[in-house]
Amino acid sequence: MLTINPVRSRPVLASLERLIGPQRADRLRRAAAEIQDRLHGGTLWHVNSTPTGGGVAEMLRTLLPLYDELGVRSRWAVVSGDDAFFRITKRLGVALYGSDGDGGPLGPAEREAYLRALKPAADRLVQKVDSRDVVILHDHQTAGLVPSLAGRVASVHWRCHVGVDEPTDAAERGWDFLTELLDEVDSLIFSVADHVPARLRDRTVLIQPPFISPFDAKNVDLPADTVRACLAQCGLDPAGAPARSPLLLETAAGDVRLQSTPSVISDGGHQLGEPLITQVSRWDRLKDMAGVLTAVTDHVPVGHLALVGPDPAAIADDVEQGFWYADCLDHWRKLSPAQRRRVSLICLPMADPTENALLVNAVQRASDVVVQKSLAEGFGLTVSEAMWKSRVVVGSAVGGIRAQITDGVDGFLLTDPADLRGLGQIVAAVLSDATDRQEIGERAHRRVRDDFLPDREVTTTASMLASERMATR
């Protein structure tokens, strides 16, 4: 099945240009003109597997309205499938991260089922595209569309947001599954250079980090009373309680209505004056929420930990979230009463993406330390989002996190993501008076402003299409 995802957004181009300055703004407009020239009146398509939840969907919600303001015709299509499709793609995604996951096979039968589930989406997309169009397919859920699109559009590009730093047998099985499907793409786009497998390095490969939007509800500046209202909704405001009726909050991204109640597991909650330590991520083995829980309760003497993720039932393309949330909850229940009081498990509602984004924004802004202790990571937009808010981020030295944080300069890196004591020691040191959190936070903000804003996506895409044009001459 395939749906066209409509995107509505407030204009951001003028604000972005003020933020990035005249030189980058000029490059942005020239890049957009180059993309228009390459399309010859066609459309730039982005295709992924979910309209909400996850970094790709969040980027596209910013990128397509920006393209519209720049005069570039673009559309966003979302593929979906049956339960078997999402079980296979979850297994495949975990394999690309280097893990065996559920231990199930990724052989010919699974690829046949995967392609069979994608066929209705492929057929519908073929009916909608034009020979002038350029299509960018995101991640393993969409790779099976390549054979149907190749030759029917001007070019097809496949973008990989996941990967593993060192090859493993599981990752090789994942690439065995995918490589043949990618034979006809015009280029491969990876978020992290180290994630390009050896078998694809002789192909046309580009490295294109993701970006954050500084103007959406997840990243705009928030007044103190808005932060408090959101914290109360999440059970993290020591002096407040969740609103009993829908609450309309004014933000620079527009009015946001808080009307859904997060699911909060807590045994006392955040106390007045207590440092707040936060990890925001999916309930996923590779995000290791349970490991963060153990590291903080065993090795950080002060502070309240908020583990914040989506409603496990609300992400269609990730069928294992419920299992890993239950696993984390089981770890919480086994803590001593004193340790349980120091941890909150928060599942944010997903019905309204803007409401969800605002809650994440407020929790990150209220945090003294933001953790991203991934066992493997593609890029990790939550890192850049927290850095943009001038938070001190402690992340695992894996994948794209290493591309965002310079250890000891604009954040801190945990060399071994399995080292729970080491994580605890870093977090405890950050919370001590010996660390200048304000200075590190300011450097973190500057890093994101310089390297991870939406104009970089447009200019890199223009360069990609220009290179393709030169190659065909």
Predicted local confidence at residue 464, as pLDDT: 94
Residues 271 and 304 in one domain: yes
Distance CA 138, CA 160 (A): 6
In the chain, % of residues over pLDDT 70: 97
Tell me whether residue 352 is in a domain. yes
**Residues 213-223: what's their mean pLDDT?**
94
Residues 425 and 468 in one domain: no
**Residues 60-85: what's their mean pLDDT?**
94
Residues 446 and 465 in one domain: no
CB 80 within 8 A of CB 1: yes
Q: Which tokens is 303 given?
A: 């502070």
Tell me whether residue 227 is in a domain. no
Is residue 318's pLDDT more than 90?
no
**Residues 210-227: what's their mean pLDDT?**
94
Residues 187 and 86 in one domain: yes
The one-letter amino acid code at 456 reads R
Residues 335 and 364 in one domain: yes
Residues 83 and 55 in one domain: yes
Looking from the CA of 113 toward its CB, the CA atoms found within 13 Å total 15
Residues 314 and 345 in one domain: yes
Residues 295 and 179 in one domain: no
Round the average pLDDT of the chain to a whole number and report it.
93
Predicted local confidence at residue 434, as pLDDT: 79
Tell me whether residue 231 is in a domain. no
Predicted local confidence at residue 262, as pLDDT: 95
Per-residue pLDDT band at 323 (split at 50, 70, 90): very high
**Residues 203-222: what's their mean pLDDT?**
94
Q: Taking each helix axis from N to C terminus, what angle separates 224-233 and 353-366, rounded to the nearest 10 degrees?
A: 110
Is residue 473's pLDDT more than 90?
no
pTM above 0.85, yes or no: yes
Predicted local confidence at residue 2, as pLDDT: 87
Distance CA 368, CA 103 (A): 38
In the chain, % of residues over pLDDT 90: 83
Per-residue pLDDT band at 348 (split at 50, 70, 90): very high
Predicted local confidence at residue 245, as pLDDT: 61
Q: Which tens digits make up the pLDDT trace of 46-57?
A: 999 988 877 899
Tell me whether residue 218 is in a domain. no
CB 313 within 8 A of CB 322: yes
Is residue 385's pLDDT more than 70?
yes
Domain tally, the chain? 2
Per-residue pLDDT band at 18 (split at 50, 70, 90): very high
Residues 88 and 192 in one domain: yes
Of 244-253, 273-282, 381-390, the least confident: 244-253
**Residues 355-381: what's their mean pLDDT?**
96
Q: Which tens digits make up the pLDDT trace of 396-445?
A: 999 999 999 999 999 999 999 999 999 999 999 999 987 899 999 999 99
Q: Which tens digits make up the pLDDT trace of 90-143?
A: 999 999 999 988 889 999 999 999 999 999 999 999 999 999 999 999 999 999
Per-residue pLDDT band at 470 (split at 50, 70, 90): very low
Residues 393 and 457 in one domain: no
CATH of the domain at 339: 3.40.50.2000
Q: Give every CB contact of residue 277 below 8 A, 6+ residues apart in sequence.
A: 296, 300, 303, 304, 305, 306, 367, 368, 369, 370, 371, 427, 431
Q: Which tens digits make up the pLDDT trace of 234-262?
A: 999 988 777 666 788 888 888 899 999 99
Tell me whether residue 245 is in a domain. no
Tell me whether residue 384 is in a domain. yes
Tell me whether residue 207 is in a domain. yes
Distance CA 11, CA 318 (A): 32
Tell me whether residue 461 is in a domain. yes
Phi, psi of 286 (to 5 degrees): -75, -15
Residues 190 and 266 in one domain: no
Per-residue pLDDT band at 315 (split at 50, 70, 90): low
Show the domain range for 53: 2-211+453-472
Is residue 461's pLDDT more than 90?
yes
CB 216 within 8 A of CB 61: yes
Looking from the CA of 231 toward its CB, the CA atoms found within 13 Å total 25
Of 165-179, 259-273, 308-322, 366-380, the least confident: 308-322
Is residue 319's pLDDT more than 80?
no
Is residue 472's pLDDT more than 60?
no
**Residues 79-85: what's their mean pLDDT?**
91
Give the residues across from 188 on adjacent strands: 158, 205
Q: Give every CB contact of residue 249 below 8 A, 6+ residues apart in sequence.
A: 226, 229, 230, 255, 256, 257, 258, 358
Residues 52 and 196 in one domain: yes
CB 457 within 8 A of CB 64: no
Q: Which tokens is 421 given?
A: 């004591």
